[in-house]
C-alpha cells in the first residue's frame, strides 16, 4: 500500500510540474497579437510567466527539502521509539 501511494503521489507531482511548466506558454501564445500593434501585453505576460516558472521550481525544491527533513525526523523518531 505504501509503495502504491508513493507511486501515485510521485506521478501526480510529476504531471503537476509538467503542466505547470508548459501550460503558461499557451497563455503567452494567446496574448500575442497576430500583427504588431502599438499596445501589447506580451512583455508583461512573458515576465509573469517566467516569474511563475521560477516560483514553481522554488516551491517544488523547497517541498522536496522540507519533505526529506521531515522524513528523516520521523524515521529517527520512530526508530528511537521502537527500541524503548
pLDDT for res 83 = 59
pLDDT for res 11 = 86
Nine-digit cell string for 8: 501515485
Domain that holds residue 55: 42-84
What total number of domains does the chain contain?
A: 1
In a domain, 11, yes or no: no
pLDDT tens across the length of the chain (84 residues): 788 878 888 888 888 888 888 888 777 777 777 777 777 777 888 888 889 888 888 888 888 888 888 888 878 877 776 655
Nine-digit cell string for 43: 512583455
CB-based contact 6:49 (threshold 8 Å): no
In a domain, 60, yes or no: yes
- C-alpha–C-alpha distance, residues 79 and 84, integer Å: 9
Nine-digit cell string for 54: 521560477
What count of residues does the chain have? Answer: 84
In a domain, 46, yes or no: yes
pLDDT for res 84 = 53
In a domain, 37, yes or no: no
Alpha-carbon separation of residue 27 from 37, 77, 78, 84 (angstroms): 18, 46, 47, 57
Amino acid at each position: 500500500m505504501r509503495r502504491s501511494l508513493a507511486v501515485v503521489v510521485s506521478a501526480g507531482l510529476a504531471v503537476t510540474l509538467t503542466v505547470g511548466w508548459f501550460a503558461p506558454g499557451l497563455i503567452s501564445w494567446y496574448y500575442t497579437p497576430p500583427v504588431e500593434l502599438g499596445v501589447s501585453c506580451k512583455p508583461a505576460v512573458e515576465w509573469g510567466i517566467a516569474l511563475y516558472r521560477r516560483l514553481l521550481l522554488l516551491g517544488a525544491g523547497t517541498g522536496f527539502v522540507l519533505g526529506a527533513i521531515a522524513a528523516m525526523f520521523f524515521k529517527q523518531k520512530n526508530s528511537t521509539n521502537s527500541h524503548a
